[in-house]
Structure 1
């Protein structure tokens, strides 16, 4: 492999793997010695890449101005357009607007040829029936999840009964025809998934459940993969 190709691949790995990523892991993925890996990291730094860390500590990419836009293949551009178009069609107003803005920003960084490929992408998204929009503010749900903050919600279950819940919001799952808020329910003392269209009210409590979110979400996903579906 040419050195330039190897450096581009190394940039991609440092950006894509969970930081900090160790030299041993990078060297194994690159199929080079750790000594070569250290030299390549220094070459990237000399070229302008902001790579923090050192041998024995692991590496983290803080900025990557050395990564040129032409590293996108045409198929990767098609995937970006398809994914962001799906978000525009499926998301609430704020999320759809963010997807549109993101595509504009990405396109602006591309060279002229790739800008044409993006504008003329062959992958299109169209939905004849729009999914029902939730009454609850989706931005509030997202921000509470990001902040790892307890939510108090009024929820209407599948039988029409309304209950007050205190929950730890973990993630928003976009399924085929419904968006679910995955969370830990303090009332039930168990994992629950809530249809966002059945959440009547939501309020942030200012109470943090950090740093439990990552472990809780991992356990929740493991349960779903095992086929154990929680109630609402």
Structure 2
């Protein structure tokens, strides 16, 4: 069974997602909390309902042109993406990437992937992705291996 601290962590994390993620994830966070509440004993359900840990107002998230659900689908399925991307100066490029993670920051989301053009790890702000197409091909390495290598390259434990 969950401890009170675990329940607080679940509630706080779910509240953050429900406030700052895209619509499908917002719905999933609310749904998950409802489902968790149904299996908790009454005294722990009260902990869930009355959690005093709140998510404060955040910065407005920059609008994505591409549905984040598509990016998550590519990550889960370990499938390549064809991206049309504009950098900070507005210069366009086309890339084939192997997406392995999506990072959520206060006002932006960042797609992490192996870029076939650069033959290296790259980060793509999702608000700068003009279009993305799921390619019907898996990338040749496992997502977890790519994430591990990226963390090592970035010095992240």
2:71 corresponds in structure 1 to 141
Listed one character per residue, the Cα deviations across residues 40-70 of structure 1 (whole Å, up to 9, x for unaligned) are xxxxxxxxxxxxxxxxxxxxxxxxxxxxxxx
**Which of 83, 97, 118 in structure 1 is aligned with 2:27?**
97
Listed one character per residue, the Cα deviations across residues 146-198 of structure 1 (whole Å, up to 9, x for unaligned) are 11101001101112101111100010011343211000111111110000111
After TM superposition, the score normalised by the length of structure 1 is 0.64
Number of residue equivalences: 156
**Which of 85, 110, 118 in structure 2 is aligned with 1:188?**
118
Q: 1:214 deviation in Å?
A: 2.3
Q: Which runs of 5+ in 1 are unaligned?
A: 1-70, 227-232
**Which of 122, 127, 134 in structure 2 is aligned with 1:197?**
127
Please provide the CA RMSD for this pair: 1.4
1:225 aligns to 2:144 (yes or no): no
1:150 aligns to 2:80 (yes or no): yes
1:206 aligns to 2:139 (yes or no): no
Bigger CA radius of gyration: 1
Alignment of 1:61-210 (within 5 A): 71-210=1-140
SS at match of 1:200: strand
Q: Which runs of 5+ in 2 are unaligned?
A: none
Q: Which has the higher strand share?
A: 2
Listed one character per residue, the Cα deviations across residues 2-28 of structure 1 (whole Å, up to 9, x for unaligned) are xxxxxxxxxxxxxxxxxxxxxxxxxxx
Contact 1:92 1:133 in 2 (8 A): no
Contact 1:180 1:195 in 2 (8 A): yes
Moved over 4 A (4+): none
After TM superposition, the score normalised by the length of structure 2 is 0.93
Q: 1:217 deviation in Å?
A: 1.6
SS at match of 2:57: coil
Distance (whole Å) between structure 1 residues aligned to residue 45 and residue 142 of structure 2? 42
